[in-house]
Structure 1
């Protein structure tokens, strides 16, 4: 007799319940092949509470825990690891325990020479690590590589973001890490370029390697700032004249001094009262992927920025899409061979239909 029973849903735990974490929980709940078993939380006040109660999603029957031992006790098949700053020791411990990890905070295209502890943990636990996201992630790797297939004799690949940073609901990060509201000197000396660069440089290296450019292994980092010329209202308070109100970062791979792969971020506190007078251009907020070759191809991606500042502070689609990209990858990651697996190692990853439109509803 043929067994027609469906496989049991994969058990998933969410590590950290900030913006990406909340969106990931929602995505796990809607995914037909996944079930939420709990969440790791930083705050002791949340430990022992139901994840849904903490996130105002209703009771879900999934507890919040605060230790690795409690995480392992819930026996997840996979963890969506989404803290603000990654801790490799935590990831190693999860992998060593046999738990697959999908994360938007690192390991997108890591240097094999720096993976000793990670590789050993994957081998010991028979587990898999996959770094993903949107930007860096899909916008800077998957989409450019996919788009390059319709061109030939490629000379340049560009992935670029144009966003109003006022919609990013993390004021401490925006002020103290990103350097908005600081002097230009303080912003340029902030850790933001290094923090961002870990992911964006990995994306650039992946595209360089897959397309076969003879690029300098050193990725060039450039950053620019624009200052306010009049007070600008923002979620971190007024940006006074002379202080940083816009930032631009470029990560470029060069062949004989000429850029061949570029990832760029444009973050503005609106478009008014800036010096230099930066603008999003007539197309507004967006992501762009451009292949310069035969033929040239440009794709503009909309919908990942919110309709307004107020809407973005409630639910930012860029954050939601980052979480979705992680969650949708889980079945492929669990099915993959142990080790670090990038986009290049996994099959095509797709979304899933709304429940009322799904097969077998």
Structure 2
């Protein structure tokens, strides 16, 4: 399952939005990755140079809407960055078509696919497995969360444990500069009335998104979960807020606190929590970072012997955007795994069973190369 020394892996980027643009810039910068194409949904992007679409110099490779041409080409791996949350059936069809054509996939689009247990039904998973067998291919889903911050990061800390009583992984984010309308308004419920029952409030949605990550942590501890519980709270904003997705009116949802909880022996022992705000001063009683931060923070609290309270923050410099750096980190969890996934056994692979997917070729002592921003 180790990358072949000296091998260059040919990559197609599937969609050139926020994460896709970063994937193009990174693949163009890495000596072990070679861009050979990009799929685009928009007719206006069809035929454009993919470097220009990614905001860098021309790469001499044109984007296309011709799926057959891409799948009939020489790509080893598809970096799939098209949205899947609002279109799970369409994403499943894409996955199966790509895998059956013999192309491996790394993706940030489907959180419930980070692990084979806990989120997605067998009715959804089995066609993916069948396509992998047909194409002798593999698929890997990851991101900053789930995929690292509240699952792999806690698992790494747990490797120092004698006894463990509970594990909490907490994402703490300010979504005011996040431009994805579906996620902000429909999924998280920002700007909705406080009695909104869609998105995260719908039964099964939290488990669909984060149950796999909770189960991954449980499997790392060698325990079977009795059940996975879900809770979600809303708090209003007391004033009108201007955000990347438009106005959030006073009195509507301005902060959300969602929890996906693994239960063993009647105790809530493995929890993934998302504390999301549209302004830093909202919901001051809800979790923050260790020093009070409210954006770009992933915090892990382990009650045990020893106890741990650790966190990391993305975009921590004053002139950096936590939103931009978070999107970049999300994409890199997939892009950096490409060599390992291409060498992995056929089927669905996950972070618990892959080696650490270190960013081969990423070190630039002279600060040269293709910048992400």
TM-score (structure 2 length as normaliser): 0.86
Q: Give the unaligned 5+ runs of structure 1.
A: none
Q: Distance in 2 between matches of 1:137 and 1:32?
A: 25
Deviation at 1:341, TM superposition (A): 0.9
Q: Distance in 1 between matches of 2:311 and 2:191?
A: 30
Q: Which has the higher helix share?
A: 1
What residue number does 2:231 align with?
222
Asked whether the equivalents of residues 227 and 276 of structure 1 are also in contact (C-alpha less than 8 Å), the reply is no
Give the match's secondary structure for 1:102.
strand
What residue number does 1:97 align with?
101
What residue number does 1:128 align with?
138
Deviation at 1:275, TM superposition (A): 6.4
Asked whether the equivalents of residues 13 and 38 of structure 1 are also in contact (C-alpha less than 8 Å), the reply is yes
What residue number does 2:16 align with?
17
C-alpha change, 1:170 and 1:335, in structure 2 (3 Å) is: same
Please tell me whether residue 190 in structure 1 is matched to residue 199 in structure 2.
yes
Deviation at 1:346, TM superposition (A): 1.4
Please tell me whether residue 207 in structure 1 is matched to residue 224 in structure 2.
no
Q: Distance in 2 between matches of 1:237 and 1:53?
A: 28
Deviation at 1:75, TM superposition (A): 1.9
What residue number does 2:305 align with?
294
Give the match's secondary structure for 2:309.
strand
Give the match's secondary structure for 1:167.
coil
What residue number does 1:43 align with?
42
C-alpha change, 1:255 and 1:119, in structure 2 (3 Å) is: same
What residue number does 1:343 align with?
351
C-alpha change, 1:327 and 1:76, in structure 2 (3 Å) is: same
Q: Is the deviation greater in 347-356 or in 47-56?
A: 347-356
Deviation at 1:123, TM superposition (A): 1.1
Give the match's secondary structure for 1:343.
coil
Give the match's secondary structure for 1:323.
helix
Q: Distance in 2 between matches of 1:70 and 1:168?
A: 33
Q: Distance in 2 between matches of 1:123 and 1:296?
A: 43
After TM superposition, the structure 1 = structure 2 runs for residues 20-169 of structure 1, keeping only pairs within 5 Å, are 20-85=19-84, 86=88, 87-106=91-110, 107-111=113-117, 113-114=122-123, 115-169=125-179
Asked whether the equivalents of residues 164 and 269 of structure 1 are also in contact (C-alpha less than 8 Å), the reply is yes
Give the match's secondary structure for 1:45.
coil
C-alpha change, 1:275 and 1:355, in structure 2 (3 Å) is: closer
What residue number does 2:370 align with?
none
Count of residue correspondences? 348
Deviation at 1:162, TM superposition (A): 1.0
After TM superposition, the structure 1 = structure 2 runs for residues 163-178 of structure 1, keeping only pairs within 5 Å, are 163-178=173-188
Q: Distance in 2 between matches of 1:70 and 1:178?
A: 37
Q: Distance in 2 between matches of 1:113 and 1:170?
A: 29
Q: Distance in 1 between matches of 2:138 and 2:157?
A: 27
Q: Distance in 1 between matches of 2:66 and 2:365?
A: 37
C-alpha change, 1:51 and 1:197, in structure 2 (3 Å) is: farther
Q: Distance in 2 between matches of 1:357 and 1:83?
A: 34
Asked whether the equivalents of residues 271 and 278 of structure 1 are also in contact (C-alpha less than 8 Å), the reply is no
Q: RMSD of aligned C-alpha atoms? A: 2.5
Q: Distance in 2 between matches of 1:234 and 1:52?
A: 29
Q: Is the deviation greater in 93-102 or in 347-356?
A: 347-356
Please tell me whether residue 241 in structure 1 is matched to residue 258 in structure 2.
no
What residue number does 1:319 align with?
327
Deviation at 1:83, TM superposition (A): 1.1
Q: Distance in 1 between matches of 2:304 and 2:213?
A: 20
